[in-house]
Amino acid sequence: MRKVLLTVFFTAISFESAAALECDVARQHFRSRNFTLSETCEEQATGIVCGTASNCCPLGLQEEMKHKASIELRQRLSFIEDYHREMSLIEMQLFDAYGELFSKAQEHTLSTLHIDLRFMEQNSSVEAFYKTLRTYLLGIGHRHSDDDSPNVIGAALNSLFSDIFVSVYEQTANPRERFFSNAFKSCLRQQNLALQPFGEVPQRLAAYFTKSFHVDHLVMKSVRTLIEVLKTASEANVTNYSECSRAFANLVHCPACHAYTDLAPCNRFCVNVVRGCLAPLSDLNAPWTSQVEKTIRLLKRAQETNYHVEIGLLLISQRLVEAVQYAMDNGIEVVKRVQASCGDPDGKGDLIIKATNDSSQQRTATETVELLTGPAKKLQETADTLQAKLHTILDLFETISERLCPDISNSDCWNGSTRGDYSKTLAGRGVGAQKLNPEVVFNDRMIPNYVKLVEHSLRMKQVTGAINHAAVFKMKPEIENYQVETRQKESFLSDGSGDAEPGSGDDEDDDEGSGSGAAPQDVDAEPDNVVPGSDASQENVTAATTTTTSSSQPTESSNDSSAPSVNASNICALLLPTLLMLIHRSL
């Protein structure tokens, strides 16, 4: 009997020594991680975080474990905040690039009107036009407007041409230099669309502008939405509720309470904890992935169809000159139409048709290219950066649990209570799947910003729907008809050369208006619309423009946009650049 008692006594001492050793290991572990420890660890602490047999981790320590666990999980999610910061930087770079591009384009448009066309009263019209472009594209003043229709762009362009028509008519058919009344000017503006004094130039330009600006508008809108989702996700504090902090503390700290300081948690145990804590973020996955995929596709489609804002801005000054030249060349017919619609300005005097100013197009298109090359390159580089970043964040919320949980075995690991296997049910992703989660009892009412996350899901679905209806998806890639123009675009973005106006190649009629509510005509209906390309093409455009100006004379009979003289001019525009280039090289 005495031997038995001695055996029990020494066995108890051995257990106490082993327990003391375990606690020493635990205390050393927690001290190294800046936990606050009491002098003794004999206090029983059952059921708070680590379950039974937690004598090495008293109640106060387990509460501190919960607090630190919440902070640690947020730190592990810091990559979401990093993505938010990176996407915000890209948005700012896009904003700056567009802003510089608009400023340079506006400067050149005013210069074209003042110097080339000698229209000195168009400052307010040009400013209003570019303000509309900025507002629509950059969202100034209505960041969350649900009106994605590009018709406002066509309307702004029509308004600009209407104002210019007044100046053109004053120069082309002025009754002995007499003053135009406000009522007569108003009539000219109102009848501009019906009279078509500029031929088809405004409609074709509007068709290109509405499509290209719609694409970039949707891209900017998508970027802003993704940034807001990332911001909310990084600030949601989904880990800052009791169930999550308790489960994560068990995952990362409780092994040390049993002296398992180097024992990793079982993978499925970790996945269950993370999916329970981050269920609201997982629900963002489907709308997030869909929007990012569609935005990437939209960017690629814009490249395939050659629809770019920078090309449209490159076109506008030259198209203004061409439009005015057309009106002056057809001055008699324009006057007849105006008299039929608006009458005589004051009922006195004979209308004098002025000759075309031969110097109106002497400025070269090269100046436009040089002015816009820098901002266009910056915009292209930022768009490439955006596309690469979108690929990076595509599966952000789909793989979030895998990202946080090490890919280790589910045996001989920490299973939440001891060293062993983990055989509990694996919960699915999202809030709805957490009913079967064995590790976390999910309660959405305990999640800050949960409702805001749900609203973001709905918002992303709306943006994705708008992208799906973009007209650019109806178009054919510009391969067969505009190969040379694609090469010119590459040259423009690489070495300061120009570009050519692409065609739309629509499979079906576009439903986007040009400002009048009607569907615009396709740009590819006029293959001779050439703007600066490579160095050689710049010389060609300049020579062709100058030749067209010097050879054009006002028509003496009624003409329309399909008259033979116009077609002949188109043929010259195609053939003269090549001939003049050969002459230039021979000199």
Tell me: the pLDDT tens digits for 406-459? 787 788 899 998 899 999 999 999 999 999 999 998 877 767 678 888 999 999
Distance CA 125, CA 135 (A): 15
- When pLDDT is averaged across residues 303-321 and rounded to a whole number, the result is 87
Q: Do residues 45 and 257 make contact, with C-beta atoms less than 8 angstroms apart?
A: no
Reported as a pLDDT band with limits 50, 70 and 90, residue 344 is confident
pLDDT in tens, 557-569: 333 333 333 344 4
* Whole-number Å distance between alpha carbons of 521 and 468: 22
Task: Check pLDDT > 70 for residue 348.
Answer: no
Whole-number Å distance between alpha carbons of 41 and 59:
10
> 226, 290 in Cβ contact below 8 A?
no
What average pLDDT does this structure show over 320-344?
Answer: 89
* 122-137 residue pLDDT tens: 788 999 999 999 999 9
Compare 445 and 69 and report the one with higher pLDDT: 69
The top-scoring range by mean pLDDT among 148-152, 201-205, 254-258 is 201-205
pLDDT value at residue 584? 39
For the cut 80, the answer to whether the pLDDT of residue 212 exceeds it is yes
Q: Band the pLDDT of 82: cuts 50, 70, 90.
A: very high
Rounded percentage of the chain residues whose pLDDT exceeds 70: 66
Check: CB of residue 573 under 8 Å from CB of residue 361: no
- Kindly indicate the confidence band of residue 500, based on its pLDDT and cuts at 50, 70 and 90: very low
Burial of 11 (0-12, 13-18, 19+ CB in 10 A): exposed
Q: Residue 365 in contact with residue 543, Cβ under 8 Å?
A: no
Residues 462-488: b if buried by 16+ CB within 10 A, e if exposed: ebbebbeebbbebbeebeeebeebbbb
Strands (E), 370-437: 413-414, 419-420
- Taking Cα atoms as reference points, which of 567, 572, 552 lies closest to residue 329? 552
pTM of the model: 0.74
Residues 308-335, mean pLDDT to the nearest whole number: 89
In terms of pLDDT, which residue wins out, 65 or 85?
85
Alpha-carbon distance of 84 to 225, in angstroms, equals 11
DSSP string, 59-112: HHHHHHHHHHHHHHHHHHTHHHHHHHHHHHHHHHHHHHHHHHHHHHHHHHHHHI
Q: Which residues contact 393 (CB under 8 A, 6 or more apart)?
A: 83, 87, 226, 292
Give the residue with greater pLDDT, 38 vs 486. 38
Q: Which of 243-247, 306-310, 334-338, 542-546 is predicted with the least confidence, judged by mean pLDDT?
A: 542-546
Which of 68-77, 302-311, 419-428, 529-538 shows the lowest per-residue confidence on average (mean pLDDT)? Answer: 529-538
For residue 471, the cross-strand partners are none
- Render pLDDT for 161-194 as a digit per residue (tens, 0 to 9): 999 998 888 877 665 556 778 888 899 999 998 9
The torsion angles phi and psi of 506, rounded to 5 degrees, stand at -65, 140
Q: Which of 207-211, 274-278, 572-576 has the lowest mean pLDDT?
A: 572-576
Q: At what angle do helices 535-551 and 309-329 cross, to 10 degrees?
A: 20
Q: Could you give the CA distance from residue 425 to residue 276 in angstroms, rounded to a whole number?
A: 13
Q: Which residues contact 207 (CB under 8 A, 6 or more apart)?
A: 504, 510, 512, 514, 520, 521, 522, 523
pLDDT at 1 (0 to 100): 55
Res 12 pLDDT > 70: no
248-257, 297-306, 329-338, 545-554: which range is least confident on average?
545-554
Q: Which residue has the higher pLDDT, 22 or 512?
A: 22
Higher pLDDT, 500 or 311: 311
What is the predicted pLDDT for the residue at 509? 40
Cβ-count burial 130-162 (b if 16+ within 10 Å, e if not)? bebbbebbbbeeeeeeeebbbbbbbbbbbbbbb
